[in-house]
Amino acid sequence: MKRKVKITDTTLRDGHQSLWATRMRTEHMLPILEKLDRVGYHSLEVWGGATFDVCLRYLKEDPWERLRAIKKIVKNTPLQMLLRGQSLVGYQHYPDDVVERFVFKAVDNGIDIIRIFDALNDIRNMEVPMKAAKASGAHVQAAVVYTISPVHTLEHYLETAKRLVEMGADSICIKDMAGLCTPYHAYELVAVLKKEVGVPLQFHSHYIGGLAVGAYLKAIEAGVDVVDTASVPLAFGASQPPVETVVRALADTPYDTELNIHELFEIARYFEDLRKRLGYERGVTRISDMRVFEHQVPGGMITNLISQLEEQKALHRLEEVLEEIPRVRAELGYPPLVTPTSQIVGTQAVLNVLTGQRYKLIPGEVRSYVQGLYGRPPAPIDPDIQALILGDLKPVECRPADLLEPKMEKIKEEIKNLARSEEDLLSYALFPQIARKFFEEREQGKLTPVVNNNEGTNKLDKELRKEEQN
Amino acid sequence: MKRKVKITDTTLRDGHQSLWATRMRTEHMLPILEKLDRVGYHSLEVWGGATFDVCLRYLKEDPWERLRAIKKIVKNTPLQMLLRGQSLVGYQHYPDDVVERFVFKAVDNGIDIIRIFDALNDIRNMEVPMKAAKASGAHVQAAVVYTISPVHTLEHYLETAKRLVEMGADSICIKDMAGLCTPYHAYELVAVLKKEVGVPLQFHSHYIGGLAVGAYLKAIEAGVDVVDTASVPLAFGASQPPVETVVRALADTPYDTELNIHELFEIARYFEDLRKRLGYERGVTRISDMRVFEHQVPGGMITNLISQLEEQKALHRLEEVLEEIPRVRAELGYPPLVTPTSQIVGTQAVLNVLTGQRYKLIPGEVRSYVQGLYGRPPAPIDPDIQALILGDLKPVECRPADLLEPKMEKIKEEIKNLARSEEDLLSYALFPQIARKFFEEREQGKLTPVVNNNEGTNKLDKELRKEEQN
Ligand SMILES: [Co+2]
Ligand SMILES: [Co+2]
């Protein structure tokens, strides 16, 4: 029985976000778009995630203009974006009016498919963006974040997926951001979802330690409809598996993608030249990435831990921190270790080890997390730890964004004529300092890209969050 | 139903042969052997292939001494070697008496499992070494070389495997040296062999374009008993898939390897430090490697073609050569594109393109091949081409080594007291010039390793063959 597998190309979003610190410029994308459009991809992921922020902050490009420029050339293939639930493309929850207008404008400027997720799988954080995406006429893909813990059972994923479909999801994505899902677990998971969830399924994984190609194959056997890949020069390592391998592996099977490998090589050659020109490394698997198999701490998080410990001249305590992380994670209700929860768990673990007394120091973001300001953790937080951390603070039971005042009207007052469009207003609503600086430089005709120091995405992400949240 | 999968570690042979130009020294191996021995590997591949030649020629080490030194430490895990059929660990067929003594001495010095193959799957070239291995008490693993062509059908592999078992093979290896075998073809192939061949099956692949992990999983589902992997710092790219990924992928499944991932990471850390100290790159997948999916020309062969064309200032004709190769290969009876047949086909294709007239120039090795001096090609050679190339020369129908005179007695005369042992005699029988130089330098106490210029194995292989065959 023939069952053609479809492919989403992530080269222009997750690929360079994972390997090139999100530094691909619009001018690097435009020359290859016509070829990408001809391949027959299910969709091209080209927007959202960290690209919005990096455009404004470092590349000094208007992300909305990028989207329109891409849409102008890509006439046949749906454009896809990644949306971090109520955090949109930023690092904190935004008020509902900002979320609604942002989603509407993303679709208005060319997005066809919006992949929406919440780091805690707290579906309350996905309600407003999903409803807005639906109302805007986009295909709403709701993503379930994959992780490993005693509470992340098949039932957890199935329940979450079912409720997301009830909430209007047109398709479900399994989002394995840390490359943790083994082939045979992928099979089980997809088989259960396929049986019980009546919408198409997509699988998104990262190569990391090398499980992803196998996981895709087993997910496909179990019925997954679409998988995410990148062109080989932007594949492997922290990025997606290469499209060429997946296409070849499925050729002449019932799952044949029917993509033309020769066309894919022409595209790869373009990105390979670009890679060399810009001086980026290929994606590789290092031991620190592999060790995710042992303690589920993603390689990027280890990189962050190492730099935190180096600052404290305490690098020799890394192994202790790696052992403390699972304890903290359990006490905090088993959040998946992804932005922002990876930083929350990691920072607390570092402090627990360095101070010599667990939970003696509590950073502000850990307190906010325990209070419920990021949403509901997958499992209850350890009551003793919760009491210790919150003291007199009351835990928040409602959807976090219910505590936020509408903001669109207020920011119009703030930014005045510096904003030339509603798109500008939204950029400002998400990243006020960065956007204001961008608008001012634009007025003065002095927008100049910040030189990239090639430090990699994880460090970058951390810095982004620090700057914007303070 | 539980069916534990076994793993052969290739780090100390194929791993560094594929990625480090075979340049790992015995002193680099000894410190980690105890840990490798404790893992519970099915076997450690530590000898044969190019290691013998490189020991003598560049490292100025006695390969026999290496084997004994390894055997002294590895007390529990069987030691394995790769033998190129009648070519042993060299690049030409040797007389039967040399083959018999070499095999006997390999076992005598510590080898437990001998993997024997012939590049053309001409089993006549495997008869004598298999018989000798059997008589020496070794486990005889006969390998079937995997390639893609109209004559390399499931029946071809099954017939070859069956006859090898009749000839005494204790197990059968599918040897996919170019990383060509897709997961679903691996499944089919293993399923057929498993059903019809009554001995254990092993799968050997190279990572190259990324199919190997998936191919291993599907081969395992179809019943393969053992797969070949390397420690992550010597895995990926031209080498084997990483053991850590395979172990993790199979954990908590009926195929669980039961290897301890923590121990594997300790070993990986050792090799990672060594990699950095020696300055070698990680294994990566480049577009030129991937293109094997399109035209079945292995990446290493493309590297050779590029350097051949560069010498002739004709690099711009690479695409023509890549199109000529399948034609030449078909006319020459579809040999697998591995050493030495990859060079035979490649050189002829280059000449056909550059001279502007097909088969105008015929190199000596192509003539020898067409004459039958490498054995019987998988399919008949095109009769017109054969007539054109051979002219008055008579094709050879017998087993090529039947034309060779015994040599052991003669070389004793030649090398005299410079040889201190039968092992020395065998080194001399295989590589007369190199061995003589080695013995002389040893006498004078001036054995000094040749500095490695990190040029990579393929170029090296080519040079080795050129030097020794002239
Ligand atoms: Co991703
Ligand atoms: Co090999």
| pLDDT tens for each residue of chain A, 470 residues long | 899 999 999 999 999 999 999 999 999 999 999 999 999 999 999 999 999 999 999 999 999 999 999 999 999 999 999 999 999 999 999 999 999 999 999 999 999 999 999 999 999 999 999 999 999 999 999 999 999 999 999 999 999 999 999 999 999 999 999 999 999 999 999 999 999 999 999 999 999 999 999 999 999 999 999 999 999 999 999 999 999 999 999 999 999 999 999 999 999 999 999 999 999 999 999 998 898 888 888 777 888 898 889 999 999 999 999 999 999 999 999 999 988 899 999 999 999 999 999 999 999 999 999 999 999 999 999 999 999 999 999 999 999 999 999 999 999 999 999 999 999 999 999 999 999 999 999 999 999 998 765 444 444 444 444 433 33
Distance B80 CA to ligand 2 centre (A): 13
Strands in B162-211 per DSSP E: 171-176, 201-205
Whole-number Å distance, alpha carbon A5 to ligand 1 midpoint, is: 19
C-alpha distances (whole Å) from A206 to each of A203, A229, B318 are: 10, 9, 34
Residues in contact with A318: Cβ distance below 8 Å, sequence separation at least 6, in sequence order: A302, A305, A306, A309
Is cis: bond before B378, omega within 30 of 0? no
User: How far is residue B40's CA from residue B77's CA, in Å, rounded to a whole number?
Assistant: 7
* DSSP H/E element including B39: none
Residue A35: count of CB within 10 angstroms of its CB? 13
Residue A296 phi/psi, 5-degree rounding, is: 60, 15
| Alpha helices, H only, B257-363 | 261-278, 287-290, 292-295, 299-311, 318-331, 341-355
Least CB-CB distance to B248: which of A249, A250, A293?
A293
| Chain A environment of B242 (Cβ under 8 Å) | 209-210, 285, 290
Helix (H) or strand (E) holding B360: none
For A226, the enclosing helix (H) or strand (E) is: strand A226-229
Alpha helix ranges (H) inside A356-456: 364-371, 383-390, 408-415, 422-430, 432-443
Which positions in chain B touch A249 (Cβ < 8 Å)? 182-184, 211, 214
pLDDT of residue A114: 98
Ligand at minimal distance from the CA of A339 is: 1
Q: How far is CA A434 from the centre of its chain?
A: 21
Encoded tokens for A88: 């949109």
Q: B268 vs A287: CB contact, 8 Å cut-off?
A: yes
| Calpha distance A351→A360 (Å, rounded) | 8
* Distance between B86 CA and the closest CA of chain A, angstroms: 34
Contacts of A296 in chain B (CB under 8 A): none
CA–CA separation, A341 vs B468, rounded Å? Answer: 61
Rounded to the nearest 5°, which phi and psi values hold at B152? -90, 70
* Predicted local confidence at residue A288, as pLDDT: 84
Among A265, A291, A293, whose Cβ lies nearest the Cβ of B287?
Answer: A265
What values do phi and psi take at A66, rounded to 5? -55, -50
Do the Cβ atoms of A272 and B282 come within 8 Å? no
DSSP A57: I
Least distant ligand from the CA of A179: 1
Q: Give the whole-angstrom CA distance, residue A118 versus residue A402.
A: 16
- Cα–Cα distance, B80 to B75 (Å, whole number): 13
**Which residue of A248, A253, A269 is in closest CB contact with B293?**
A248
What Cα–Cα distance (Å) separates residue A17 from each residue in A54, A307, B138?
A: 9, 20, 52
Of A249, A261, A290, the CB nearest to B232: A290
pLDDT score, position B467: 39
Which has the closest alpha carbon to B57: B443, B436, B456, B457?
A: B436
Pairing of strands B6-9, B201-205: unpaired
List the structure tokens of A101: 């207008």
3-state helix, strand, coil in chain A (%, to 5): 55, 10, 35
- Indicate yes or no: CB of B236 within 8 angstroms of CB of A284: yes
The answer to whether B157 and B189 have CB atoms below 8 angstroms apart is yes
Q: Which residues of B touch A (CB under 8 A)?
A: 182-184, 209-211, 213-214, 217-218, 232-233, 236, 241-242, 244-245, 247-253, 261-262, 265, 268-269, 272, 282, 284-287, 290-291, 293-294
Q: Interhelix angle for A408-415 vs A432-443, to 10°?
A: 40
Topology given in CATH for the domain delimited by A6-278: TIM Barrel (3.20.20)
Q: How far is CA A430 from the centre of its chain?
A: 16
Positive or negative: CA dihedral A180, A184, A190, A195: negative
Q: Which residues pair with A382 in a beta bridge?
A: none
- Among A209, A249, A262, select the one facing B214 at the smallest CB separation: A249
Nearest C-alpha neighbor of A375 from the set A49, A85, A159, A48: A85
Q: How far apart are CA B43 and CA B112, in angstroms?
A: 9
DSSP B207-256: -TTTTHHHHHHHHHHTT--EEEEB-GGG-STTSPPBHHHHHHHHTTSTT-
> Residue for token digits 């570690």?
B9
Classify residue B459 by burial, with Cβ atoms within 10 Å: 0-12, 13-18, 19+.
middle
Determine the distance separating the centroid of ligand 1 and the alpha carbon of A185, expressed in angstroms.
19
Which of A211, A250, A287 lies at the smallest CB-CB distance from B248?
A211
Buried b (16+ CB within 10 A) or exposed e, B173-209: bbbbbbbbbbbbbbbebbbbbbeebebbbbbbbbbbb
CB contact under 8 A, B232 and A293: no
Q: Which ligand lies nearest to the CA atom of residue B178 in the structure?
A: 2
A388 vs A382: CA distance, rounded Å: 10
Query: Distance from the CA of B167 to the center of ligand 2, in angstroms?
Result: 23
The number of the ligand nearest the C-alpha atom of B208 reads 2
> Cα-Cα-Cα-Cα dihedral of B61, B65, B67, B71, to 10°?
-140
d(CA A133, CA A99): 10
Domain with CATH 1.10.472.90 in chain A: 287-402
User: What is chain A's alpha carbon radius of gyration, rounded to the nearest angstrom?
Assistant: 21
Q: Which residues contact B56 (CB under 8 A, 6 or more apart)?
A: B62, B63, B427, B431, B434, B435, B438
Given a contact cutoff of 8 angstroms between Cβ atoms, the answer to whether A303 and A456 are in contact is yes
Q: How far is B113 from chain A (nearest CA, A)?
A: 29
| Token pair 């893992």 in the structure block, residue | B39
Parts of chain B with a pLDDT under 70: 452-470
Region(s) of chain B under CATH 3.20.20.70: 6-278
Write the ipTM: 0.93
CB contact under 8 A, A287 and B233: yes
CATH code of the region B287-402? 1.10.472.90
**Best residue of A232, A239, A261, A319 to probe chain B, by most B CBs closer than 10 Å:** A232
